[in-house]
Chains A and B, each alone.
Chain A
Amino acid sequence: MSDDIARLRQEAAGLPYGPTKIALLDEAVHLADSINDLDLGFAARKELMLAADYGGRPDLLLVAFSWCLAQHDRDAPRFSRHNILWQYKWVVSRAPQFPQITLRQIDELLDDMTERYRRAGSTLHAVHDHRCKLAHHLGDADALVRSRDLLLRTERDWLSDCRACVADNEIMYLLFLQRDDEALAAAEPILRGRLKCIDVPHRTLARLLLPLVRLGRADQAKDLHRRGYPLVRANPSGQLSPLAEHIVYLTLTQLRQAARTFERFLPVALTAVELDRRFEFFRAGRFLLRVWMEQSPPQAWKLRLPVAAKGDDDAEDPVPQDPDRLADWLDERLDDLARQFDDRNGNNHFRQQLGEPDEWHKLVQTRPHS
């Protein structure tokens, strides 16, 4: 049996991030548990968590982490603290993606993480960064500014995200605070390839597309799309958010290509566990449809989906193929997703984001299609 487990882990190690890697590691965890080998179960979960984090499966990440945390708390010398502390960051940035997890629960997790970091002698640099992330998710500018002030005053330590990720986060915060110029200046080291990691520049290139279009820097946006899209298309389940940003960009520049990209990845979005990413992808698709239907002369469009695509609810009808009905279908789901998040967050940040396509739409009128 442990041979099987070793084979699965090895096979998974040779695969790129995505569902297959997750499935193999999940199986390895499963088998380790079936022979009640805690050390093997811990080691395999460590790999599963990484794959789940990069592969769009925060549900698996949370469950695996809770198991590891419990093992660590029972027998700290045997189950490494460093892993727990490091992965706790993934957990607190993933928990808000589940609208059913309450703000109070999220706070409890952050507090628990903070306490563990403090006891480990950390400067709390990473904690501040993750409080910024939470504020960003909630759309709470005041809280973001407060945590960011703390973050900028705190020294990095061994628990901080890598420099490329920290820089990318900073760009995300600045963009949210509508400081586009500063964000672009902060992006220079990443754009020039001096800072990079497994997530960067993938995410950075995508998040700068729209700001660049807004600033009228079309050539640079085009270059970032050209460089960025190939980096994210191979792992759609883990990169839905950048893919949505590329679709919005393509809608502004190459409508047909935008449609093809949307068709290609819609099946992934339909069953995405990360509901906030699903929201972003649907919103991009909704914008695409709107621009598509305004074309004159009108163009026929039927979706080309690889398999009869359905949402994650078996009882649901298949996705409508005709643009008018698909638009309604997306609106319904967008409203529902926004409501779920806003109810939990106690604000209307997600509903407000539904208004963003209006802003994008102004860019359509100013930019003729090439």
Chain B
Amino acid sequence: LAVEHRFQVHLRGLIDLLSNHLYSGPDVFVRELLQNGVDAIRARQQLESAHAGEINVEAHARSGAPPTLMFADNGIGLTEAEVHRFLSTIGESSKRAVESGALVPAAPTDFIGQFGIGILACFLVSDEIVVITRSAHADGDGHAALEWRGRPDGTYVLTKRGTDLAAGTRVYLTCQPGAERHFSADAVRERIRHYGALLPYPIRLSAGTVSAVVNDQEAPWRQHYDHPKERAQALLGYGRQLFECDFLDAISLRADAGDLDGVAFVLPYARDLTGRPSHRVYLKNMLLSDKADNLLPNWAFFVKAVVNANDLQPMASRESFRDDEKLEAARDALGGCLRDYLVDLARNDPGRLQQLLHLHDLPLKALALEDDECYRLFAPWFLFETSQGEMMLGEYRERHDVIRYVPHLESFRQIARVAAAQGMCIINGGYTYGADLLARYADLFPEASCEAVEPSALAQSFEELSAEEIEQTQEFLDVADAVLRPFGCRADLKKFLPPSLPALYASSSEGRFLRALEQAKELSNPTWTSVLDTLQRRRRSGTPPAELCFNYANALVRQLTALRDRALLKRALQLLYVQALLLGHQPLSHRELALMNDTLLAMIDSALAGAAARPAP
């Protein structure tokens, strides 16, 4: 005969496991108790709308006995059936658990605590949980209050008590050894404030002779102020108190979607772009998370926000709100609040906007890329590195008709010096968003002209040699080409500034890649050498990967063009090539290194030979 058995569950072990995975630590029992109280009050208010909810907490330290805590609410209370169902079953909660995940249709719910293990979390700090509860439904019909005593081995006892108790629930905890720090009045006050500072019902904490309401202040952004300045100061003070940070400004947030309000603080330091900023979020005025990262648009990483939402769903992990369409709408609305603030600054306080733009350069550039109006407003203050130092785009436009920029960092390094000598001011578009923003400029400011400059194009703008000069320097160029060809480089000869520079090395990104590949090939095993060989066979474009443009305005180069000693000329050109590479911070391949050594030694050799041939003075 088959007999059905049940699994034996050790309750505390399970609670321990759950709370370690779902929650950060044992002090979540305060949150669960607050949550229960708040939910119970709300449920009662649905019955009696004028009911004034309140929560009372008592912390008792007794000499010779473990400290105790009592949490009392005047909410809806529980009937006997509800006690069995809600207090004693894991995974069931009076708030009708809805599995998270965007695929499950969200059931509308009035309650916050959908995923808690609820009151059972108290087993983390107390060996026994005593609940005395009387249902508001039972009022007046003579039903008794109930006492529930639960133990961590999973057993509980339910007894009937008198009818003289008011509706509501009291929870009594007795500190288990090792949990003392969670029972001190200071710790309890701190946790209540942490989770419940914004709750609309007074939470009174009594310990010894002291008794005070912990959440006596309304959310500062909901308070009335006579003057905007006063408001700003109050909010900044609040920010300092929460995050120990002197924020630059406070921006009010409001979104109809999600019924959301709060404040965004402008960070006084630039944040890097990789980590997603975290915000403090409350759900129905109860703290949900300190690290919500999906609340604001991507570009908004220059602020830290504190918000409450009354109409969003929490994630199962309680990290944040669930990312559904409602949150998306709320996010757009919050983005709108931040954007309006910036637009308002542009019109009324441009100095401050400039300060923000320089501090939070990247997020605001990202915003401008997404938002044309912001682009137009911010553009004059965008700061760029140019061949004439740092400059704001507005300043640049006043001085130059055409905006010239190089889209890559490496190209900028190659040509900045030469461009500066030509009196050209070239913007380095190689940093984040640089080239993207500049490419967009002409679309939004049709009167401006804007061009991307490539290093090789710069070389093309150099002054050509005259026909006569070309003839005179033909041999020089032939030798130079022969010297450079094995290194995948082409030689050219033009006149350019500064005259002190004998040659300009310009490589395309293709050229640079090929150099790195050569370098790796010199070291690799046969398998890899063959792979690298194959990679080298990329489709070639018309322009050579690298070019060394000699400067005919340079005295040394001019002398070399007249040199008839081909061997010496060859060595000199080899050295100039290596020097140009070094100036451009190009790593030398083994062959180039060998070339440099041989050439230097040969030059020293011939210099010594020349010295020996001369009679000593």
Contact = CB atoms under 8 A, between A and B. Distances in A.
Contact of A191 (B103, B517, B535): B103
Interface string B263-288: 00000000011100000000000000
A13 B275 CA distance: 10
A27 B410 contact: yes
Interface string A85-109: 0000000000100101110010011
Interface string B403-440: 00000111001000000000000000011100010011
Interface in B308-365: 315, 317, 323, 325, 328
Q: Enumerate the 8 nearest inter-chain pairs by beta-carbon distance, A residue then B residue, closest first.
A: A33-B587, A14-B272, A70-B523, A314-B541, A192-B101, A67-B520, A34-B587, A66-B520
Contacts of A220: 103
Nearest to B434: A20
Nearest to A101: B534
Interface in B536-588: 537-539, 541-543, 582, 585-588
Contact of A306 (B315, B408, B440, B531): B440
B274 A101 contact: no
Interface residues of A, number: 52
B530 interface: yes
- Chain B residues touching A, range: 35 or more
Contact of B516 (A23, A63, A74, A102): A63
A60 B514 CA distance: 10
Contacts of A324: none
Contacts of B408: 23
A216 interface: no
B456 to A, nearest CB: 11
Contact of A95 (B102, B325, B525, B531): B531
A314 B531 contact: no
A142 interface: no
Contacts of A24: 409
B431 A20 contact: yes
A69 B585 CA distance: 24
A226 B294 CA distance: 14
B273 A306 contact: no
Interface in A59-86: 59-60, 62-64, 66-67, 69-71, 73-74
B100 interface: yes
Interface of B: 100-103, 272-274, 298, 315, 317, 323, 325, 328, 408-410, 413, 430-432, 436, 439-440, 443, 452, 512-513, 516-517, 519-521, 523-525, 527-528, 530-532, 534-535, 537-539, 541-543, 582, 585-588
Nearest to A224: B102
A364 to B, nearest CB: 25
B513 A60 contact: yes
Contacts, number: 133
B586 A34 contact: yes
A88 to B, nearest CB: 12
A227 to B, nearest CB: 6
A303 B537 CA distance: 33
Given A98-B535, A306-B440, A15 B274 contact: yes
Given A14-B273, A20-B432, A69-B524, A63 B535 contact: yes
A62 B531 contact: yes
A185 interface: no
Interface in A175-196: 191-193
A70 B513 contact: no
Nearest to B521: A66
Given A102-B534, A312-B541, A314-B542, 10 more contacts: A23-B408, A36-B587, A60-B516, A63-B513, A63-B516, A67-B520, A74-B523, A191-B102, A227-B323, A313-B541
Interface in A187-245: 191-193, 220, 223, 226-227, 230, 234
Nearest to A35: B587
B439 A306 contact: yes
Contacts of B432: 15, 18, 20
B100 A108 contact: no
7 contacts: A30-B587, A73-B525, A100-B538, A193-B100, A227-B102, A230-B298, A306-B440
Contacts of A69: 524-525, 528
A29 B586 CA distance: 10
A73 B525 CA distance: 9
A14 B269 CA distance: 14
Contacts of A95: 531
A109 B527 contact: yes
Contacts of B443: 306
A315 B541 CA distance: 7
Helix, strand, loop or mixed for chain A's interface?
helix
A67 B521 CA distance: 8
Given A227-B102, A313-B539, A315-B541, A105 B531 contact: yes
Nearest to A304: B443
Contacts of A322: none
A330 B523 CA distance: 40
A223 B102 contact: yes
A24 B413 CA distance: 12
B615 to A, nearest CB: 43
Contacts of B525: 69-70, 73
Nearest to B516: A63
Contacts of A29: 516
Nearest to A189: B101
A193 B519 CA distance: 44
A31 interface: yes
Given A13-B272, A24-B409, A105 B539 contact: no
Contacts of A100: 534-535, 537-538
A83 to B, nearest CB: 16
A312 B534 CA distance: 18
B527 A112 contact: yes
B532 A63 contact: yes
A307 interface: yes
Contacts of B585: 30-31, 34
B274 A13 contact: yes
A105 B530 contact: yes
A230 B539 CA distance: 33
Given A59-B535, A192-B103, A23 B328 contact: no
A254 to B, nearest CB: 15
Contacts of B535: 59, 62-63, 98, 100-101
Contacts of B523: 66-67, 70-71, 74
Contact of A20 (B430, B516, B527, B587): B430
B534 A98 contact: yes
A234 B436 CA distance: 13
Given A20-B430, A20-B432, A192 B531 contact: no
Nearest to A29: B516
B43 to A, nearest CB: 29
Contact of B527 (A33, A105, A227): A105
B402 to A, nearest CB: 16
Contact of B409 (A23, A105, A191): A23
Interface string A304-348: 001100001111000000000000000000000000000000000
A66 B531 contact: yes
B432 to A, nearest CB: 5
A30 B274 CA distance: 24
B436 to A, nearest CB: 8
A67 B513 CA distance: 13
B528 A70 contact: yes
Nearest to B442: A307
Contact of B531 (A101, A193, A226, A312): A101
A83 B262 CA distance: 46
B537 to A, nearest CB: 5
Interface in A5-62: 13-16, 18, 20, 23-24, 26-27, 29-31, 33-34, 36, 59-60, 62
Given A34-B586, A227-B102, A313-B539, A193 B315 contact: yes
Nearest to B513: A59
Given A63-B513, A109-B527, A27 B439 contact: no
A350 B517 CA distance: 29
